[in-house]
Amino acid sequence: MIASLLVAAPVAFGVGVGTVIWLRRLPRRAVRRLVALNGAACIAALAILGAMALGVVDPAQAAGSTVSANPGAAFIGAGIAIAGSTLGAAIAVAYTGAAALAAISEKPELFGRAMVIVGLAEGIAIYGLVIAIVLIGKA
């Protein structure tokens, strides 16, 4: 996994820099070029997906083995799940909480409805915690 990241990171960086340079050469055609690049990436992804669906490429064989040799990857995945879900919940609660306070200040009878909406936004963090527990349980 680390070896593929060491190869993929410079390639992705190079593609990004190349895209920026390519798009700055003719700014009027930048949108068309960007749409063409996204279309090519979409076609390549669909071709790979089709190859996997037809059995030409087996993802388990391409990875080398089906079991991860590094149990620390589960902990990294759990950390990413918790970090992403709490950041998303924080953004959602910020917007819904501000709107709820504004609504409650005008109509106090909306308190129950407003708290339900804020609670739904907080549920995003709980889903991330559940995923993290599942990942740590499989480590």
Owner of token pair 């501000």:
98
Q: What is the pLDDT of residue 24?
A: 78
d(C-alpha 86, C-alpha 82), whole Å: 6
Residue 55 DSSP code: T
Q: What is the pLDDT of residue 70?
A: 72
Show the domain range for 86: 72-138
Per-residue pLDDT of the chain (139 residues; tens, 9 = 90+): 566 667 777 887 887 788 778 777 777 777 777 788 778 888 888 887 788 788 776 666 655 555 555 778 888 888 999 999 999 999 999 999 999 999 999 999 999 999 898 888 888 899 999 998 988 888 7
The answer to whether residues 121 and 96 touch, using CB atoms and an 8 Å cutoff, is yes
From the list 75, 79, 73, 82, the residue with the least C-alpha distance to 129 is 82
**Same domain membership, residue 76 and residue 131:** yes
From the list 59, 22, 26, 55, the residue with the least C-alpha distance to 37 is 22
**Same domain membership, residue 52 and residue 22:** yes
From the list 116, 118, 125, 115, the residue with the least C-alpha distance to 87 is 125
d(C-alpha 23, C-alpha 29), whole Å: 8
Q: Report the domain count for the chain.
A: 2
Q: What is the pLDDT of residue 45?
A: 80
**Same domain membership, residue 126 and residue 92:** yes
